[in-house]
Chains A and B, each alone.
Chain A
């Protein structure tokens, strides 16, 4: 380093001064840090001072939920929203919609009537109590989201000659072989020290039931195993060709394929059945909120400065180039940290550092419309997901309008990690082309049936600069409380202020928690 006269300490101090923070912790992505959702708590807003006002920044779900509850309690609220629509990441793209990403590329969605993609959140797990309760309260119609489909594909370019396999084959055979092997272990006496004879007998019995093993504990071609993995020729009616059982996959090929890694996906807490989606698009939730708080929203408002003193809060913002100021007694700020970290805001250094400690993840979603639903008509796949080791990562088939004759829309790519950056870095037309090229390895029909597509690379989204706030255990320990604590008259809310990053449940539960604490403070100081 002799060529450059600066040492590490100097650099860190420089960076600290430049950005107003000290060195930041490394942050690797993971939605896996998501914690279990808590039941929706009852809000107690008794004693709200008459005429007290709250300025809310951002009309996503957190901001609108805060506005809804506070206005119900008698607070005077106003919301500033950067976009010309409410909802933020609770967002649906349909035919005729346009999306202009950073860099200026404008895409127009060309989907047929009734088709859509949700570029942001798209699933509502059964245990996301806040989302479920607001949907039920507002009458947002829900339908099952098909997460797990036994007839969808698992695909690896490195296994089975690159030929996609049915999930049921991988699942039944994996379950079959591991049970068979454990059964052998039991019979060979390897567990004699650990289990009583009675427990060993029950274990063996359970393995047979679990995996359709025969009376000797073998997993093999049979009526029973075909009832799990499917038949070579299914039982016919009348004088059809006679039933043929199917042959399990080769055990070594199956183990080496690594396709078993996908089996647990539908068993994860937030992907378990029953899981829901709003009928017709996720933005039904945004619209339901906007119906109730839309009168408080000022759209196309870009916040440029947030100030506070002993008596109130003010936000400077521009609307079509005109500078304006909104003032209130209190403020709930739901602006994503990727943006907020660039807006001068008068809060203490603890909150400042917390705001700057959370990087925003890359993610890409690509919606593809095809002339017909070949996945249903040709491949008998009704909803659910296929997984692949290709850059597109997964294909999600629509969970509604089964059997309809017209064009259908797939989620043709949904990716994190390097592939998300690589897709985002391509021009939109190239992204679509690549998604079609790769998807054709699972469904050759892609080439002939493709009609049009639209993509959202979340780092190119002008109002989030990324998909969601990536916390690590270290950054949570150092900064999470400072992020959530009320600073003077300002409290932050959003998925970034929750243990459920990227989920709407995080946004809603964070908002309710923030406004309850804010209210308690307002009442306690009698202001």
Chain B
């Protein structure tokens, strides 16, 4: 390996590390109103859902539990998730006043395609509307 190639490889490595560090240190975003400001599915999940369902969708168990979203068979169709996010169930609050239909569609799409769920069919706000109103 000549010096030039070594240097350029090092620069590539360093910039990759810098990127990783920057994303880990990314400042969290807080919503200025009663509606969540995050728009992308993953951002909504990181700001809202992971408070209970945890960063890897693994859920949690205490005196009661938060169900795992990872590899969850109820996510085969999107409707269960749309309903739960929109209207809530049991201890889970409804989010149809804090998320728009677009945001609900985004976060449902994210969860259905993440954490070992491999459902890549996408829904849109139109699919959410009948459940969220």
Contact = CB atoms under 8 A, between A and B. Distances in A.
9 contacts: A1-B130, A6-B79, A18-B74, A28-B97, A102-B62, A339-B63, A342-B65, A421-B47, A465-B52
A425 B46 contact: yes
Given A362-B93, A434-B28, A8 B80 contact: no
A302 B65 CA distance: 12
A419 B77 contact: no
Interface string A242-280: 000000000000000000000000000000000000000
Interface string A390-410: 010000000000000000000
Contact of A4 (B29, B46, B60, B77): B77
A342 B90 contact: yes
Most chain B Cβ neighbours within 10 Å, of A23, A102, A426, A460? A102
B66 A465 contact: yes
User: What's the interface size class on A, roughly?
Assistant: 35 or more
Nearest to B65: A342
A426 B28 contact: yes
A338 interface: yes
A82 B63 contact: yes
B104 to A, nearest CB: 13
B80 to A, nearest CB: 7
A437 to B, nearest CB: 9
Given A82-B63, A465-B52, A19 B90 contact: yes
Interface string A149-177: 00000000000000000000000000000
Nearest to B82: A11
Interface residues of B, number: 47
A219 interface: no
A482 B12 CA distance: 65
Contacts, number: 142
Contacts of A12: 83
Give the top 10 A-B pairs by smallest Cβ distance, nearest first: A462-B62, A338-B91, A391-B30, A424-B51, A102-B60, A339-B64, A418-B31, A359-B93, A341-B90, A425-B51
Interface in B106-133: 121, 127, 130-131
A356 interface: yes
Given A1-B127, A360-B91, A389 B63 contact: no
B17 to A, nearest CB: 21
Given A417-B31, A465-B64, A465-B91, 8 more contacts: A1-B130, A26-B96, A103-B60, A337-B91, A339-B63, A422-B31, A425-B47, A460-B51
A435 to B, nearest CB: 11
Interface in A443-500: 457, 459-466, 470
A15 interface: yes
A27 B54 CA distance: 23
A1 B46 CA distance: 28
Contacts of B50: 425
Interface in B44-94: 46-52, 54-55, 60-66, 74, 77-80, 83, 87-94
A446 to B, nearest CB: 17
A209 to B, nearest CB: 38
B94 A342 contact: no
A358 B77 CA distance: 26
A356 B54 contact: no
Given A8-B131, A15-B89, A302-B63, A421 B51 contact: yes
A110 interface: no
A430 interface: yes
B80 A11 contact: yes
Contact of A338 (B33, B54, B64, B121): B64
A462 B63 contact: yes
A11 B79 contact: yes
A361 interface: yes
Most chain B Cβ neighbours within 10 Å, of A4, A14, A27, A470? A4
B14 interface: no
A3 interface: yes
